[in-house]
Chain A
């Protein structure tokens, strides 16, 4: 190993330039990461952080610029090159093979073997155990990855880089899928790694985390580095301003709610997931007109199955879903939609839009078969076009034309299209699942404002989100879902981050004696 002096950074990116078609993702970007330090890379979605680290990991090739590891210039054409140079990466969407075991995943590609063919399973297991003990990341080597909870899967990702003796560890939005307590644990592990000399690059858009853990921060915006600083020199508002380029409303202002009659009532709902395991376990909740009920919870606790059951996309094992007094359990999605439910799905590409259809067709995707958009089975395209034009104007959807395919739109505009569609058919209940995932701050503000407006107009809103800030900012009442049950439902004013975080992790809302 080359002896690295304190001055030579473990990893350096100089003058990185990368363009995709007409979009410049990285424009003369510089980054300097010291050994044993935690360096946060902050920016909103689309700022270029992921592009930069993908270049550092060899997944992309920069058009211009160079990368240096421990002072030496390196060519990173594929991840293998980066790995061989001691760079490891923990991806936002885990790069783990679900059906293989922990040990198999960790050693994949560098398997211990007899004469390079027959696997040495024992050696693999031992390696995982040793690494786990040394770094505080214990995992059962024989467990199958898809059976593990998300936080543990992340440990496997980290172990994989450590198995290959990484000197630099890059983590891409690692806390997106963790509870606050798991986040704390992760930050502890990272601190430990840093103390052992590993240089850490930590990508996030969460201001709070940056201030809590980072030794240094680099802020990116629109493909460029806007500035570097340390937590000591700034605060959340300062970071937000650097990130967005203007002062940002971190919390949307809203009038207090004046809830009226109950619109949605769920009683003792039991729903199974795709594998036949109980995902929603005797869950009950109520949402009234004119209020937002925010359901907080880490992904994988039954939210998806709950939403699918309520909207008619998944069959129910037992229990009742009622809307305005009608029993809608087991009705088809179309029937439920016609009875007055709107749904913003959590995966907009997969479930919310037909990408190849035009924006206009997507805007009537829930009503294309009814008058005035169709008569006796024949579509009335003029009406469709006119209607969609008015929606595009009202919701400021940026698109060249209503006939443009929806997949050409940006994430934020796609979400606006879905919102425009769902808010415009006279619904009385809105089910919004992760409505602002992966979209830019400007569109987030817009969507949040829309949700508040709809609430003020008397809509009942069921908001499911893994973003605590969003829940706290928008909800009138908050519930926490844990292992398929709603553990507590109370007024928003009764809960704060710490308490919600504790409930999300442990499932109990008793405050331990201090």
Chain B
């Protein structure tokens, strides 16, 4: 499949190319839709609930995957997505509850994510420390700081972010609820996917990023600053992870709990790998993983394993492992990841 999208497919063959390359996605998607309908016993309300839930669960995963992707495409492993999300969730919540303004909270979350991205860049690119250790540092710091500075009992004065209904489209059956009455960050995420895709494959920034990630010395030779590109991408990616954190505390849950990210940052890495470092692929993978989380609802509908909820809770993590074991060996990451870059 390669890392470069189908920009060589001419006009009329694009549909054929997509259908061919995406055949496994289509099959899987069809199977899952069938499974959903069956478990929901074809009730519209329940089917809608599951699909909406899938989209909700997939949002932080897509964002996390995009964050990881920007870093890895330029050659830096970011294991700290979990920490970035957690800190941003906390920061966003604290700011929003202190100022009473949700938007300020979101901005704070994004800013914190960018800051942490800068720290990661500073350690792994500027100081050439091991990238995985640097990311782990972010995670530990996040856990420590969010626990230390958290005071119980804060709330959001105006509650969490509310959905925005897109006019008459929101009244459509199923699709209306699932696609057209979502909350802002969810919409933003859907927008970000094609934007990042375009950026990576159609702009100078994207070309240079990919060059830096595959062969940094070649990029440096033609005057591109490897260090600069990596800092830029880690900070941008950090902002995206910050958005994910803000989503969790301000849009999804409406409060902050210790450790609320619960491994999503790592699942996002599996999503990124499964999606082959491609935004559209990651989106598809995130939907799949989101479905794996949403499936709890379906089990409830059918009264499966209700007395042993722990097994259902395990599902996303087991799926992650299976995906990794099945796919990472065959997917090729950008060639220079993991190696610190030095000019002389």
Q: Footprint of B on A, CB under 8 Å? A: 59-60, 78-80, 83, 89, 91, 94-100, 104-105, 108-111, 113, 116-119, 121, 142, 160
Looking at the complex, which of B1-9, B138-146, B290-298 is the stretch in contact with chain A?
A: B1-9
Complex contact A109–B8 (CB within 8 A): no
Q: Once the chains are docked, how many angstroms separate the CA of A110 from the CA of B222?
A: 8
A-B contacts at CB below 8 angstroms, number: 78
* Pairs A–B under 8 Å by Cβ, sample size 7: A59-B221, A79-B222, A97-B218, A99-B2, A108-B218, A117-B203, A119-B207
Contact with A along B212-247 (1 / 0, CB 8 A): 001101111111100000000000000000000000
Known contacts: A95-B218, A97-B214, A97-B218. The answer to whether A104 contacts B207 by CB under 8 A is: yes
> Which bucket holds chain B's interface residue count?
20 to 34
Partner of A79, one of B202, B211, B223, B335: B223
Complex contact B220–A79 (CB within 8 A): yes
Which 10 A-B residue pairings sit nearest by Cβ, starting from the closest? A80-B223, A109-B222, A95-B218, A97-B215, A95-B221, A97-B211, A111-B204, A97-B214, A109-B223, A117-B203
Interface residues of B in 291-344 (CB under 8 A from A): 335, 343-344
> Which residue of B has the minimal Cβ distance to A163?
B222
Q: Once the chains are docked, how many angstroms separate the CA of A116 from the CA of B220?
A: 19
With A79-B222, A109-B222 already in contact, 20 other A-B pairs whose C-beta atoms are closer than 8 Å: A78-B223, A79-B221, A80-B222, A80-B223, A83-B223, A94-B218, A95-B221, A97-B211, A98-B335, A99-B2, A99-B214, A100-B207, A104-B207, A108-B207, A108-B219, A108-B222, A113-B203, A116-B204, A117-B203, A160-B222
> Which residue of B has the minimal Cβ distance to A84?
B223
> Which residue of A has the minimal Cβ distance to B198?
A118
A59 neighbours in B (Cβ, 8 Å): 221, 343-344
- Interface presence of B205 (CB below 8 A): yes
Q: Once the chains are docked, how many angstroms separate the CA of A54 from the CA of B214?
A: 22
B210 neighbours in A (Cβ, 8 Å): 97, 99-100
- Interface presence of B208 (CB below 8 A): yes
Complex contact A118–B203 (CB within 8 A): yes
B214 neighbours in A (Cβ, 8 Å): 97-100
Partner of A118, one of B202, B218, B222: B202
Q: A76 to chain B: closest CB distance in Å?
A: 12
A94 neighbours in B (Cβ, 8 Å): 218
> Which residue of B has the minimal Cβ distance to A91?
B221
A83 neighbours in B (Cβ, 8 Å): 222-223
Q: B117 to chain A: closest CB distance in Å?
A: 22
Q: Once the chains are docked, how many angstroms separate the CA of A118 from the CA of B344?
A: 32
| Most interface-central of B203, B205, B218, B219 (chain A CB within 10 A) | B218
> Which residue of A has the minimal Cβ distance to B213?
A97
Chain A at the B interface: SS class: loop
Q: Once the chains are docked, how many angstroms separate the CA of A111 from the CA of B208?
A: 10
B222 neighbours in A (Cβ, 8 Å): 79-80, 83, 95, 108-110, 160
B344 neighbours in A (Cβ, 8 Å): 59-60
A104 neighbours in B (Cβ, 8 Å): 207
B8 neighbours in A (Cβ, 8 Å): 142
Q: B329 to chain A: closest CB distance in Å?
A: 12
Q: A315 to chain B: closest CB distance in Å?
A: 16
Complex contact B224–A109 (CB within 8 A): yes
Interface residues of B in 26-67 (CB under 8 A from A): none
Q: Once the chains are docked, how many angstroms separate the CA of A94 from the CA of B217?
A: 10
Complex contact B215–A98 (CB within 8 A): yes
Partner of B219, one of A99, A109, A121, A142: A109
Complex contact B224–A99 (CB within 8 A): no
Complex contact B215–A119 (CB within 8 A): no
| Most interface-central of B2, B219, B220, B221 (chain A CB within 10 A) | B221
> Which residue of B has the minimal Cβ distance to A95?
B218
Q: B249 to chain A: closest CB distance in Å?
A: 34
A98 neighbours in B (Cβ, 8 Å): 214-215, 335
Q: Once the chains are docked, how many angstroms separate the CA of A298 from the CA of B276?
A: 34
> Which residue of A has the minimal Cβ distance to B223?
A80
A118 neighbours in B (Cβ, 8 Å): 202-204
Complex contact B204–A113 (CB within 8 A): yes
Q: A234 to chain B: closest CB distance in Å?
A: 34
Q: B184 to chain A: closest CB distance in Å?
A: 26
Q: A86 to chain B: closest CB distance in Å?
A: 14
> Which residue of B has the minimal Cβ distance to A83?
B223
> Which residue of B has the minimal Cβ distance to A120?
B204
Complex contact A100–B211 (CB within 8 A): yes
Known contacts: A79-B221, A79-B222, A79-B223. The answer to whether A99 contacts B4 by CB under 8 A is: yes
Q: Once the chains are docked, how many angstroms separate the CA of A95 from the CA of B217?
A: 7
> Which residue of B has the minimal Cβ distance to A111?
B204
A91 neighbours in B (Cβ, 8 Å): 221
B207 neighbours in A (Cβ, 8 Å): 100, 104, 108, 111, 119
Q: A458 to chain B: closest CB distance in Å?
A: 44
Known contacts: A80-B223, A108-B211, A109-B223. The answer to whether A119 contacts B218 by CB under 8 A is: no
Q: Once the chains are docked, how many angstroms separate the CA of A149 from the CA of B208?
A: 24
Complex contact A99–B221 (CB within 8 A): no
Partner of B205, one of A89, A96, A100, A117: A117
B219 neighbours in A (Cβ, 8 Å): 97, 108-109
Q: Once the chains are docked, how many angstroms separate the CA of A100 from the CA of B215?
A: 10
A89 neighbours in B (Cβ, 8 Å): 221
Q: A305 to chain B: closest CB distance in Å?
A: 19
> Which residue of A has the minimal Cβ distance to B217?
A95
Q: Once the chains are docked, how many angstroms separate the CA of A110 from the CA of B221?
A: 12
Q: Once the chains are docked, how many angstroms separate the CA of A111 from the CA of B4?
A: 18
| Most interface-central of B8, B222, B343 (chain A CB within 10 A) | B222
Q: B150 to chain A: closest CB distance in Å?
A: 42
Q: B283 to chain A: closest CB distance in Å?
A: 22
Q: B7 to chain A: closest CB distance in Å?
A: 8
> Which residue of A has the minimal Cβ distance to B206?
A119
> Which residue of A has the minimal Cβ distance to B344?
A60
B7 neighbours in A (Cβ, 8 Å): 121
Q: Once the chains are docked, how many angstroms separate the CA of A119 from the CA of B210?
A: 14
Known contacts: A95-B215, A100-B214. The answer to whether A117 contacts B220 by CB under 8 A is: no
Q: Once the chains are docked, how many angstroms separate the CA of A114 from the CA of B211?
A: 20
Q: A345 to chain B: closest CB distance in Å?
A: 21
Q: Once the chains are docked, how many angstroms separate the CA of A110 from the CA of B219?
A: 11
A60 neighbours in B (Cβ, 8 Å): 344
Q: Once the chains are docked, how many angstroms separate the CA of A404 from the CA of B221?
A: 35
> Which residue of B has the minimal Cβ distance to A101?
B4
| Most interface-central of A94, A118, A160 (chain B CB within 10 A) | A118
